[in-house]
């Protein structure tokens, strides 16, 4: 038998090609019995839809644009890996871009994706409310847009993330219970999740009557995780040492900072966890192999990717008016693993 297509299925089952096409697309116009005959035959003969033929007919591609701040971040890399595997099962292909936290680069990526006529866009914005008008126009006029991870954004669409303030509250509280009350918070400057994570840290201090110290909130300004910001961090902690205000615990608010801080502290001859306990957000599988093993808050990338596609694909296929829809925010549960770096 040659290559199985809609025409050959129609001939074998004595149906019209239009009926087969509608059955394969789960049309309400086709009887359930007919659908099952078509689907059973297609499965038995390993039928695969032709995405390019579908594009010519409908104007859609099978491409999904994914716009993220950094491809080198363990969290974003893991998310894309999970998304890629799941998208393939639905016959979609990913087109990823990194913005390096730049609104300008983000807009260029979005413009390119629209020119490619992508079926949908998944984005973790460069920063809070970056390219809001552009994203709104895309979502309403071109293709559906879904936000993940950095969801403090004015675009009205589905948003998938974690309860950032709650997660930082819990780990800060745990450090306080272990007797650490001089706790610093490391965060990326102008990064979308910073406000929520900082709020959780501050709430934990407040609940335990620990004064908030502005010098303990350390904003690291970087455009790429690969940048050498170690010297900047080292200078900050040197100043704290010199003023006798060295923290005895650190909460890392980003992937990059959570990993880098161990090396910075080692360079200052500070022992972890004896002198300074460390915990942070990161999805690296190397956490157990760092010296010492790093306590981490890990985001549920597989669950995030699955939910993202579960929400996006119906938006792509139904082609409803997205401007007047009611959307939800989904806050998933992160997993905290306490290792040697907080073994106080």
Q: Is residue 80 part of a domain?
A: yes
Residue 160, number of CB atoms within 10 A of its CB: 25
CA distance 86 to 84: 5
CA distance 186 to 250: 7
Q: Same structural domain for residues 317 and 223?
A: no
> Could you give phi then psi for residue 157, rounded to 5 degrees?
-160, 180
Q: Is residue 15 part of a domain?
A: yes
Q: Same structural domain for residues 290 and 305?
A: no
Q: Same structural domain for residues 323 and 276?
A: no
Q: Is residue 1 part of a domain?
A: no
Q: Which helix (H) or strand (E) holds 298?
A: strand 295-298
Q: Is residue 338 part of a domain?
A: no
pTM of the predicted model, to two decimals? 0.81
Check if the beta carbon of residue 128 is closer than 8 Å to that of residue 296.
Answer: no
* Residue 60 confidence (pLDDT): 66
User: CA distances (Å), 156 to each of 2, 146, 198, 254, in order?
Assistant: 48, 9, 24, 25
Domain span at 136:
61-161+301-332
Q: In what order do the strands lie in the sheet with 120-123?
A: 93-98, 63-68, 120-123, 145-148, 159-162, 329-332
Q: Same structural domain for residues 75 and 94?
A: yes
* Residue 216 confidence (pLDDT): 96
Q: Same structural domain for residues 34 and 44?
A: yes
Q: Is residue 341 part of a domain?
A: no
Check if the beta carbon of residue 261 is closer than 8 Å to that of residue 250.
Answer: yes
CATH number for 97: 3.40.50.2300
Per-residue pLDDT of the chain (344 residues; tens, 9 = 90+): 567 888 888 888 898 888 888 888 777 778 888 989 988 998 888 887 765 555 545 556 899 999 999 888 899 999 999 999 999 988 899 999 999 889 999 999 999 999 999 999 999 999 888 999 999 999 999 999 999 999 999 999 999 999 999 999 999 999 999 999 999 999 987 677 888 999 999 999 999 999 999 999 998 877 655 567 888 888 999 999 889 899 999 999 988 888 889 999 999 999 999 999 999 999 999 899 898 999 999 999 999 999 999 999 999 988 778 998 999 999 999 999 999 999 97
């Amino acid at each position: 038998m040659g290559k199985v297509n809609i025409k050959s299925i129609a001939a074998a089952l004595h149906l019209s090609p239009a009926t087969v096409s509608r059955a394969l697309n789960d049309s309400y116009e086709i009887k359930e019995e007919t659908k099952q005959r078509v689907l059973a035959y297609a499965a038995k003969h390993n039928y695969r839809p032709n995405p390019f033929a579908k594009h010519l007919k409908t104007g859609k591609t099978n491409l999904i644009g994914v716009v993220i701040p950094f491809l080198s971040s363990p969290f974003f890399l893991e998310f894309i890996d999970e998304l890629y595997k799941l998208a393939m099962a639905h016959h979609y292909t990913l087109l990823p871009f990194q913005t390096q936290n730049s609104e300008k680069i983000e807009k260029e990526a979005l413009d390119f994706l629209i020119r490619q006529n992508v079926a949908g866009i998944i984005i973790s914005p460069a920063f809070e409310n970056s390219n809001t008008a552009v994203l709104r126009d895309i979502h309403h006029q071109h293709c559906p847009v879904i936000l993940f991870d950095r969801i403090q954004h004015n675009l009205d669409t589905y948003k998938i993330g974690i309860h950032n303030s709650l997660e930082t509250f819990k780990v800060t509280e745990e450090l306080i219970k272990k007797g650490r009350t001089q706790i610093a918070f490391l965060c990326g400057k102008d990064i979308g999740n910073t406000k929520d994570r900082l709020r959780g840290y501050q709430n934990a201090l407040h609940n335990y009557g620990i004064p908030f110290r502005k010098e303990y909130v350390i904003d690291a300004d970087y455009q790429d995780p690969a940048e050498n910001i170690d010297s900047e961090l080292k200078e900050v902690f040197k100043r704290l040492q010199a003023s006798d205000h060295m923290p005895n615990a650190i909460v890392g608010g980003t992937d990059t900072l959570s990993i880098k801080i161990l090396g910075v502290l080692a360079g200052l001859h500070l022992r972890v966890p004896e002198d300074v306990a460390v915990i942070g957000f990161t999805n690296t599988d190397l956490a157990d192999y760092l010296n010492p093993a790093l306590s981490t808050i890990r985001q549920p990338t597989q669950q995030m990717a699955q939910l993202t596609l579960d929400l996006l694909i119906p938006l792509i296929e139904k082609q409803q008016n997205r401007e007047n829809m009611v959307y939800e925010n989904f806050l998933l549960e992160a997993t905290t693993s306490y290792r040697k770096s907080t073994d106080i």
